[in-house]
Structure formats: C-alpha cells, structure tokens
Chain A
Amino acid sequence: MSPDSRCIRFLLSAIFILTLLTSAIGQNATISGHITDAATGEALIGATIYDFKSGKGAVANNYGFYSLTLPADSVSLRISYVGYQTQNEKRKLDGNVVLSFELSGSAMLEGVEVVATQNDNELERSQMSTIEISLDKVKSLPVLLGERDVLKTIQLLPGVQSGMEGASGIYVRGGGPDQNLILLDGVPVYNANHLFGFFSIFNTDAINSVRLIKGGFPAEYGGRLSSVIDMRMKEGNSKKIHGEGGIGLIASRLTIEGPIIKDKTSFMVSGRRTYIDVLTRPIIRSQGEGIDGGYYFYDLNAKVNHKFSDRSRLFLSGYFGRDRFFVKDSYSARSAQEPYTETLEAGLGWGNAIGALRWNYIFGPRLFSNTTLTYSSYDFNVGSQFESERVENGQTINSSQSIEYLSGIRDWSAKIDFNYFPDPDHSVKFGGAYIYHTFNPGINRFEENDGVARQDTSFGSNRIFAHEFYTYIEDDWRINEKFKVNGGVHISGFSVNSKEYFSFQPRVSGRYLVNNRTAVKASYAHMAQFLHLLTNTGIGLPTDLWVPPTENIKPQLAHQVAAGVVRDLPADFSVSFEAYYKYMENLLEYRDGAGFFGNATDWQGQVESGRGWSYGGELLLEKKMGKTSGWIGYTLSWTNRQFENINFGEVFPYRYDRRHDISLALTHTFSERVDVGIVWVYGTGNAVTLPLERYRRLSGSGDFFRGAEVGHIESRNNYRMPAYHRLDLGVNLHKETRYGSRTWSFGLYNAYSRQNPFFLYFSNDREGNQRLTQVALFPLIPSVMYNFRF
C-alpha cells in the first residue's frame, strides 16, 4: 500500500470514528459559530468564548470558528478578544445552536473599558514557546527606512536572533535560516527576502495575524526544525470599502479591501513597490552615454472570499513578488559607411509566487474542515544578453549572445484539515497533505546567433521531482482545571529518486495552573525537515538553493525539550521564562574552502553533514495594555556544531551563537494624536573565522611554495565580531481627516549611529601596517513616511 493511500485510509477512519462519537453524545448541546470584527468582518483568530456556569471555554480557530459543547442548561457566556470590547450573553441551551459574534474594537468605543484577555490565553493554553505578534506593534515600532516589517519585529523577541546588520533573516533557538516554516495563508514561502535580505516580502497592510512558534510544536505543523511563522492575510472587509497605504522614502504601498456582496463576498488587494530605480536612474544615466541600470522590488497580495452559507466558505488568495536588478550599456559607432551598434544587458531577478484555494466546510457544530489546494514557487535567474548590429557591404548583420542561469523550487499541494470538538475538554485536530515538489537546482542556458547560424544549448542539473506527504492528529485535552495537555503525532514521508524517507514525530506539551496568575509549562517535540537550503553566506542571498535529501544527505532531525513558567503581574504586566535544549542531526555546513557559487550538480561534494545543539533560557517581560506597552526580552544561549570533517571533528560555535541577546521594544501613547516607539537591541557579536597567527609551511623539493606562509586558524568561528547594539526612535503623528485618517511617521534608525559590524577583513593602513577592518552598513538613518487610511 502506498503512503498516500495509507494516509487517506487513516483520515477516513478517523472521520468515521469521530462521527460515531458525535452521535453518542446526546445529552449536551453545542454552540458553534464565528467570532469576527464588527467593523471589518475579519475573523478574530484566538478569540475566546467562556461559560461561567460550567467553567468551560473554547478558542476560535484560524477562521474565527469555535465550537463549545455544554450541558443542555442555561449558559452565561463571555466572548472576548484582546483590544476588543467583551460581550456577555445569557441564554437557555436546549439544543445545538449556531451563534456568531461580532466584537467591536477599542478604537470604535470611546469611554468603554476594554478587558485584556491575552494574558488569560497565555495562562490557559497548553502550548508554550508561542507568541502572537501584535500588528499594531509592527506598525508603531521604528524600523529601517520606515519600512514596516513583520520579520524584523519577530527578531526582537527572545529566542529569535537576527543574522547580519539590517537583514531580516531569523535564527530561532540555534537553528538555521532554512529551519523556519514561514506560512502565508498556510502556504510555505521559500525565500522571504527582498534586496538581499534587508526587507522581508511581507506587506504589513495585507496581514491579519502573525503567530510565532519556537518549540512545543503542535502536530499540525511539520517540515522545519526550528520555528513556525504562521501568517494569515486579511480576508477583506465585508462591510464597506476601506483602504490604507503609505508613501515612504524608498517604497509606497496601497491596500484596498471591501465587499463585493456585503457580508457574503469580499476582496483585498495590496501592492507595494520600491522606487530606488526611479530615484537613482538619472545618476546612473549621467555616468555615460548608453549606461542605464537600477533595482526595484514589488509585492502584490490579493484575496477574495465568498460565503456560500454559514457552513461553507471559499477563499482564493495569492502573493506575487519579485526583485529585479538590471544594468545596460550600449555603444554606437556612427560611421556613415559601416555603422555599428552594440548593447549589453545584464540582470538578476528572483521572486515568489504563491496561491491558495481554500474551502471551509462545517460538517456539523463540532466538526470543521478546511480543504486547500496550494501552489508555491521560488525562482532565481541571472543572465546577460549581448546584441550587435553592423552593416557590411550594404547588408545589415545582426548577432546576439545570451547566457542565463535559472534555479528554483515549485510545489503543488493538496491538504485537508479537520477541527473536531467532541466536548469542551477536547479539541482534536487531524488531517494530511500531499506535496509535489519540483526542484530546479541550476540550469545554464546559452544561446548564440552570429548572423549565420543559431545555437541554443542548455546544460547543468536536471530537474528533480519529489513527493512529500504528512498526516497528523492531536488533541488539546483539558484533564482538569489545573492540567491541560496537547499531545499528538506528525507522520511524514518523502520520496525522491527512488529513495524514501519516513519520520514519526511525537509531540506533547502541557500546562499546570499553579494558581490563577501562574502556570508552569513543559513540552517535547520531534521535528523532521526533508529539504536542505544550500547557503554559505548566511545573509539570505537569492542564490540560496533548496535541494532535496539524497542517498548521502539525509533529512534534518531535531528533538527539543522546553520548560517554563508564565506569570501575570500587577498593572497589566506579565512575565515568562523558558529554558530549552535542542539537538539537531544531519545539518549541513560548507566544507573548508568550499566556493560560493559552485555548480549545483556537485553541491554534495561541498557540504558536510553533522550535528548541532543549542540550549539556553529566555526571559520575556511584557506589558500588552495601557498607554505604555511593549516588552523586554533577554536570551542567554549556547549553540554549537560538530562535523566529522570540519574543524578536525572538534566542536565549534555556530556562526550565530549569541551568548546574550537583549531587546527592548516600547511604545507610548501620549494622546490620540501622538505616540512614540523605542527599540534597543544588544547582541553578542557573531562568530567568524579569522587567522590569528601566520607561520611558514612545509617546503619540500620542487615545492613551489617554498618559504610560503599559512594563516593559522585554531578553530572554525574562532573570532567574535564586536557586539551589536542599536537604538531606534520613532514618532507617529495621527490626525483624523475628511477621508479617514493620516499618520506621519518619523524615525531614526540607529539613533546614536553605532557602527555595527557587517563583515571583517584584513587591509593595510597608510603606514603599511596590516589591520583588521570592519565594514558597517547603516549609520544613523532618518526616515519619514506618510500613512493614510480611508
């Protein structure tokens, strides 16, 4: 029996058993429905519904759906969500009922106290190492060049480290940049970077919710070792047409959303484009006749959804983004007898295309389903084209040459997920997926036309096709008022070139409520990652290449245990501390001397497979409500790697081993018109490899290098860059306008102009002395952005 058919049988059996269970529970009644934003109709993911009489509650899922089964009696319900006015409802329950709630945001209700519930959720849920990112924070904290960036806000959280100066790559609990499952509407994103990693591809205006999971992974997630960043795009305002946008120094963006059929069909379209090329082109063109060039990137997010009924809803969402760098040089010889022109054009481009067609269907008040077809592709190409035209003996002769390198990955997938709520003490999730991967690890294409003959050649790696599947089941089980456990299993398999890999991944996390303000949590998760990312720069270059496992290069595996405590403090403060240990196998690292851009067919010869481990503690002091809100995060961690043939088999620190990492992110609202944001970060310097000594090498007979020297490197990553720290300041000035509202955002990135190291190299000073030289990218950079809403 094939893995796919096993998977389908498993799911059908599960549905059958659950249907029987549902029919067996007769004396209870189920309240189910959606919890949405009253103003926009957007799902309030994670909103809670709680019955005071029974002490039972439920949480809305990613589509705002909840299901709460209670004894058929009178109920007293509280429906709440952070930043929204809490609703209370009393009613007699004598049968299953569909109840949908629309909560009003705080901004709409002047003088109404809004109850904070987020901390309650933190205490309540069994899951740990999970942080819901506030998009308000993303929008109000100062950032580089004023470009709001979800990933850069995530970098400010404990356990998450940034890579290089200004880059949006993230490194979670000692993991690599490839070990983050970044999901946009449930679809994996393979390269989340614009402009060599200085900006992420996510347009904040198009995002509805962001959740970061660093450990204790629920069984529904898999395929990466270190983190899950689950982002959901806005569904589109189902009540009225609404728009927002911004005009910044390097880019502008615009989002429009609204109903097509009120409360039934809505859409959201969001676009962003840089205009660095427009601003710099005159300067480039002034360098000489025929010279042109530039760089730009753009993003386009779109989503449309239609509600067929209270039980059936369809979503179609897509993302398309691209970076493009181009140069052009042309030359003309204006000889009357033999005119000649030539043009050289070169460029590189990369981008993602993502699509998801999703159908929510509610089988019954306790069974919610989500069926999805997805497409995700990432491609990179670099190429040049040379064209010339000359006249010989009165005849025009055209010739051309072009060379192009293409690489990328493309996925088609189908998946089905179920949420089953048999009673208030259990919330079961199960499902499965099949993914068809196409890897393009590097094809060179050469085309030549010399005016007489035409040649078209392709060479390089062949495409690789692979099949991946997974199935999972998990139960969030409230054992009693104190204990809650989430246990499950994720089973996955991968088949490529007649080689098959399977993985059985148990997951468990639990919570013990010490009192109504304190919870203790612990978790264990086994993760498997079939895909490897080839990158030896670590800065998120578009050349980074996704490759499948092979006979010799096995899937990456990780085991992570974590334990922690969460406590609510007075004055809306909360504090959490987590300690973790993560062990990883089959990690890839480039061998000594491995080149930067080798032919992809030979990548296996350039890498070594080995192990790594990371352990540490993370402290988060947070204040979510009030005029002053934000957090202070501190991480103390150790991350090491060990490979048989690197560093002579000895343990060495990971490049992003960071002993201390501190982040301060605060906003303060002075009035409805003015708020300020402050970010301060400090991190131990990255580990790099530098020679500390030089000495003469062995010279033998005929040795060309007689008397030559070598630089002695004691260990890989033996040298620490100077520590990284930076202060960013921002102020937002809001004003109501005729059309809606506007916000001027002023920012100072790196306010005290700290020269943070980007890379180090040796060079000579004026006296001829050799010195260690540091390159820093960003001094103090002011920014201004005009934002508007209507």
Chain B
Amino acid sequence: MDVRFKRDGMTLIVSIEGEIDHHTSRLLKEKMDSKFIMEPVKNMIIDLSGVTFMDSAGIGLIKGRMDRVSSVGGKISIRNPKPEIIKMLKMSNIYNLIS
C-alpha cells in the first residue's frame, strides 16, 4: 500500500495505491489525517484508481475522513474507483461521493 498527496488550492488530493483492509487502513488513516492537519486545506479528493482491493475497512476509512473534512466545513469526494471497488462503495452511503 502506498499513498501520495498533492495540494490543489484548498483541496488535498490523496492518491492511494494497493489494497485497503483493516491492516493497511490504520496507517492510511494516520497519514491522511496528519497531512490534512498540516496543509492549509479544507477539502479532500480521494483517488482510488490505484486501489486493487478494498473491503469494508475502506468504507470505515472514507467515512471517518468524511466526518473530519465535514467538521471544518469542507467537502470530500472519491475519484476513479475500479468496478470491484464500486460494488463495495454501493453498499454504503459514500457511493454518492464519487465525482
């Protein structure tokens, strides 16, 4: 699992590569939260194009970040999930975050 960050104005773009499960989501959460606090941003885009596997731990991860971003009045969106990831996203209310 790897994660890269880019800033576009007030938006933090998070590109995740590899697999998201309970094991990897803990480190992802730490990295995403610390970057979100350190950078002068209020919105977040999560790019899932490089994610090859995601179970419900990914739903928990995204929902947690959604709450964090919402708490500072920002918006969060998801980009480029693969079809197998879309199936998982459709099971929760974060499916409508796909832009």
Q: Do A and B come from one complex?
A: no
